[in-house]
């Protein structure tokens, strides 16, 4: 790999743990221009007028509704937003695309159809394809004339993606690769025209191929009987002596793993962005129901525990959304440098790989936020929520797959500390030096500054800084004890990941509010949402730290370390009851999450 050029500190993946970010350098939803919002509005109208009226037909896969609406989405430009204009795409930035993703996922299965196509179904070709391959296929995919799919998983290699057994052998005349194997759980399989298929050349080198549906030897199995996302297609893709022209080899022999993992980075980001759209829709439905449904002579929204649920949903969505837009703009900024990595031919943009850690954070956090919001929305609906009369039941069913898609949340939790360590070893991140300094500082502690005179937002930033120090300290203790085998200590790794996730989301929310405050925007509700999230995160972070340290130390050493945890995470609990009621009251007055944040 060539030597990478230096980037500003906030554009280095994982560096948020080691530095403080200037709020002025962070992109927030409040920064969206009228033009950027227009695409989301186009998607919203499309969903309202064209997709949701046919919900039942889509959920039962009746007729040709899925393909028909998919093509309509393509005609509106909703499927080629990130594709270069040379291939009939709109070439839009990721911050703009996020708004569209949020709208399409209001119906989970249809969101999967479109997301799997425009993300992992099209991006391998966009980033790794030759000019001839892109000219042949990419415009068809961007317009919705063709549908794309991504075929990596197999029956025995789900999370262990590189355990695949599908084989590819060069034909005697050297004109084709002959593929044999079966791919499992392939989204869009029933309708896709082009599959990105991963196979082992000569049983050894993992390699990607562009496989047309009409190639001899390509077929699909029956539709899987799924718990949710029923309006999407999920089938096996069966390859029986499938003949694939040699010119359809993607990125070079043996480069398949590199392609697969880096495309998954983008897929994880898109999944998290979409999850926030589904969560906002679930919160809107829960708010509306809480206002309309009366019990004991008053609306549900008038009861404290319902207000608490509504507020907690809004708080978590706010933090997740803040992290999504922050990351979208950082990815765009690195893409804009034009820097490439030469591990494949053609080389691909550094922006696809730089924020792999942040993409995993967003995937884990946002999928779990959606699950929690969906569950609480159903609870607010009571018995009706458990019926198909309301959307709450479908949202719960649809949301559950996101913790499995694009690498399970368990795999992603292990990936986060593992990637930090690998980048440190390769000199891409000054992690070891930071750990050493933090450890020395904490073992010879200076008195913590008295923050009682600070406003709550300033105190919250100080707490987040201490949480970063604590994370680095625990990482140092773990590395000292286990060395490079730390990755095998999965429980400790997961605890570290959960600390990192809360830090990133908390900081993203804080930066968003601080930026709004600096530009004199109305910030009271942003501050309430931020402080509520950080206040709740303190208890979670302390629990993660205690669990990790108890697995690493014992006796007096452990007691001293636990004292350090208490000292670093010292925080006077806020009155979350009053603040939560205020958030819920404003939410009910305005009716939806986006309106909750709007200035008076």
Same-domain pairing of 246 and 263: no
Distance CA 359, CA 328 (A): 10
Same-domain pairing of 131 and 158: no
Same-domain pairing of 154 and 98: no
517 part of a folded domain: yes
Looking at residue 385, its pLDDT comes to: 97
- CATH number of the domain at 215, please: 2.40.110.10
| Residue 252 Cα distances to 57, 157, 575, angstroms | 42, 22, 58
Q: Is 585 left (phi over 0), alpha (psi -120 to 50) or beta?
A: alpha
Worst-scoring range by mean pLDDT, 284-288, 350-354, 461-465?
A: 350-354
- CATH number of the domain at 120, please: 1.10.540.10
364 part of a folded domain: yes
pLDDT digits (tens, 9 = 90+) for 291-337: 999 999 999 999 999 999 999 999 999 999 999 999 999 999 999 99
Same-domain pairing of 156 and 137: no
Same-domain pairing of 72 and 164: no
Last residue of a domain, one of 192, 227, 250: 250
Token output for 460 = 């919250």
22 part of a folded domain: no
Omega before 346 cis (within 30°)? yes
How many domains does the chain fold into? 4
Last residue of a domain, one of 146, 162, 197: 146
Domain hosting residue 204, numbered range: 149-250
Asked about 406 being catalytic, the answer comes back as yes
Tokens 């806020």 found at: 574
Q: Which helix (H) or strand (E) holds 399?
A: helix 392-399
Same-domain pairing of 291 and 235: no
**Residue 104's pLDDT band (cuts 50, 70, 90):** very high
Looking at residue 548, its pLDDT comes to: 97
pLDDT digits (tens, 9 = 90+) for 402-441: 999 999 999 999 999 999 999 999 999 999 999 999 988 8
4 part of a folded domain: no
Q: Is residue 545 predicted with pLDDT exceeding 50?
A: yes
Token output for 440 = 């020395």
Q: Is residue 448 predicted with pLDDT exceeding 60?
A: no
Same-domain pairing of 127 and 226: no
537 part of a folded domain: yes
Q: Which one of 102, 354, 406, 507 is the catalytic residue?
A: 406
- CATH number of the domain at 391, please: 1.20.140.10
**Residue 344's pLDDT band (cuts 50, 70, 90):** low
pLDDT digits (tens, 9 = 90+) for 118-143: 999 999 999 999 999 999 999 999 99
Same-domain pairing of 581 and 434: yes
Same-domain pairing of 97 and 120: yes
Looking at residue 453, its pLDDT comes to: 52
Same-domain pairing of 228 and 317: no
CB 508 within 8 A of CB 329: no
433 part of a folded domain: yes
List beta partners, residue 410. Answer: none
Share the mean pLDDT of the chain. 94
Same-domain pairing of 141 and 246: no
pLDDT digits (tens, 9 = 90+) for 28-46: 999 999 999 999 999 999 9
Looking at residue 161, its pLDDT comes to: 75
Which residues neighbour 190 within 8 Å (Cβ) at sequence distance 6 or greater?
220, 223, 233, 235
**Selected residue with higher pLDDT from 73 and 598:** 73
Distance CA 73, CA 93 (A): 18
21 part of a folded domain: no
Q: Is residue 546 predicted with pLDDT exceeding 90?
A: yes
pLDDT digits (tens, 9 = 90+) for 213-269: 999 999 999 999 999 999 999 999 999 999 999 999 999 999 999 999 999 999 999
Same-domain pairing of 244 and 111: no
Last residue of a domain, one of 196, 223, 250: 250
Q: Which of 330, 262, 239 minimizes the C-alpha distance to 126?
A: 262
403 part of a folded domain: yes
């Amino acid at each position: 790999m060539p030597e990478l050029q230096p980037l500003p500190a906030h554009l280095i993946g994982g560096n948020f743990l080691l530095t403080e970010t200037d709020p002025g350098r962070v992109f927030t939803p409040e920064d969206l221009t009228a033009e950027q919002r227009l695409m989301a509005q186009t998607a919203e109208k499309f969903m309202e007028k064209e997709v949701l009226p046919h919900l039942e037909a889509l959920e039962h896969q009746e007729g040709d509704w899925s393909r028909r609406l998919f093509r309509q989405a393509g005609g509106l430009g909703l499927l080629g937003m990130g594709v270069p204009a040379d291939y009939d795409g709109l070439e839009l930035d990721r911050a703009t695309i996020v708004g569209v993703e949020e709208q399409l996922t209001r119906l989970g299965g249809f969101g999967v159809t479109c997301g799997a196509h425009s993300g992992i179904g099209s991006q391998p070709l966009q980033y790794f394809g030759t000019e001839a391959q892109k000219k042949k296929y990419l415009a068809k995919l961007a317009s919705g004339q063709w549908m794309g799919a991504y075929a990596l998983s197999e029956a025995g290699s789900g999370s262990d993606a590189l355990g695949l057994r599908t084989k590819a052998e060069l034909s005697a005349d050297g004109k084709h690769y002959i593929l044999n194997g079966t791919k499992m759980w392939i989204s869009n399989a029933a309708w896709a025209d082009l599959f990105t298929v991963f196979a082992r050349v000569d049983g050894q080198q993992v390699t990607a191929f562009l496989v047309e549906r009409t190639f001899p030897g390509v077929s699909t199995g029956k539709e899987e009987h799924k718990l949710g996302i029923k309006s999407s297609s999920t089938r096996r893709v069966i390859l029986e002596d499938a003949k694939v022209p040699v010119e359809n080899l993607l990125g070079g022999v043996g480069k398949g793993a590199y392609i697969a993992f880096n495309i998954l980075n983008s897929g994880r980001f898109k999944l998290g962005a979409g999850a926030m759209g589904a969560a906002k829709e679930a919160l809107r439905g829960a708010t509306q129901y809480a206002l309309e449904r009366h019990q004991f002579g008053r609306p549900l929204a008038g009861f404290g525990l319902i207000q608490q649920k509504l507020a907690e949903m809004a708080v978590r969505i706010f933090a997740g959304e803040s992290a999504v837009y922050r990351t979208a703009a950082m990815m765009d900024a690195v893409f804009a440098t034009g820097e490439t990595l030469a591990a494949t031919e053609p080389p691909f943009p550094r922006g696809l790989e730089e924020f792999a850690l942040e993409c995993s954070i967003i995937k884990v956090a946002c999928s779990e936020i959606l699950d929690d919001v969906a569950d609480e929305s159903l609870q607010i609906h009571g018995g009706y929520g458990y019926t198909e009369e309301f959307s709450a039941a479908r949202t719960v069913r649809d949301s559950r797959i996101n913790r499995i898609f694009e690498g399970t949340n368990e795999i992603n939790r292990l990936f986060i500390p593992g990637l930090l360590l690998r980048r440190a070893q390769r000199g891409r991140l000054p992690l070891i030096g930071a750990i050493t300094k933090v450890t020395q500082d904490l073992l010879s502690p200076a008195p913590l500054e008295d923050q009682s005179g600070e406003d709550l937002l300033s105190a919250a930033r100080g707490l987040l800084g201490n949480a970063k120090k604590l994370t680095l300290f625990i990482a140092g203790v773990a590395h000292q004890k286990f060395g490079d085998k730390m990755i095998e200590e999965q429980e400790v790794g997961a605890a570290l990941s959960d600390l990192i996730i809360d830090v990133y989301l908390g900081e993203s929310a804080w930066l968003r509010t601080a930026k709004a405050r600096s530009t004199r925007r109305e910030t009271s509700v942003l501050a309430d949402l931020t402080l509520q999230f950080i206040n709740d995160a303190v208890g979670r972070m302390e629990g993660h730290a205690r669990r990790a340290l108890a697995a690493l130390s014992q006796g007096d050493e452990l007691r001293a370390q636990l004292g350090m945890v208490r000292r670093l995470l010292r925080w006077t609990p806020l009155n979350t009851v009053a603040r939560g009621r205020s958030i819920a009251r404003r939410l009910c007055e305005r009716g939806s999450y986006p309106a909750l944040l709007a200035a008076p």
